[in-house]
Amino acid sequence: DSGVTQTPKHLITATGQRVTLRCSPRSGDLSVYWYQQSLDQGLQFLIQYYNGEERAKGNILERFSAQQFPDLHSELNLSSLELGDSALYFCASSVGGRVSSYNEQFFGPGTRLTVL
C-alpha cells in the first residue's frame, strides 16, 4: 500500500457526461500528480499541483480540469466524456515539487473509467 488513495476504484458512465475522480495524497506530501493510462496511448502525464497551486501541465485536454484543496486532496474533473477517455487514471504524490530519487513519487491504485 503506497499510502495514496483514489476513489472510486471503478466508474462507468456514458458519453457526454461529467465525472470527478478523487485523490488523497500520502500524509505530508504536498505534490499531487495525475496520469492517464490507456491501451493505445500508454501512460501520459496530465497535470501536477503543489501545495494548492498548479505546478506543471502535460497532455491534459481542455475538457479536463483539476484542483488541489487546502487539505491537499485533489480532484480531476472530466467533462463531455468521449469513448476515447476510457482509461486508468492514476494519482501520485510526493513531498516536494520535483520528482527525483530524493523526492520519490508514490502512486495510488488508480481509477478505472469506462465510457459507454
Kindly state the cell numbers that stand for 19. 465525472
70 burial class (0-12, 13-18, 19+ CB within 10 angstroms)? exposed
CB of 74 to another protein, least distance (A): 15
- Which string of DSSP letters, residue by residue, matches 52-72? TEEEEE-S--TTEEEEE-TTS
Residue 37 binds to another protein (criterion: CB under 8 A): yes
Kindly state the cell numbers that stand for 51. 501545495
Residue 5 binds to another protein (criterion: CB under 8 A): no
Work out which of 12, 43, 80, 82 binds another protein, going by CB under 8 A: 43
- The interface with another protein within residues 73-92 (CB under 8 A) comprises 88, 90, 92
Cα dihedral across residues 33, 63, 72, 10: positive or negative: negative
Work out which of 24, 108, 113, 115 binds another protein, going by CB under 8 A: 108
Applying CB under 8 A, which residues contact another protein? 2, 4, 33, 37, 39, 42-45, 48, 55-58, 88, 90, 92, 97-101, 104-110, 112
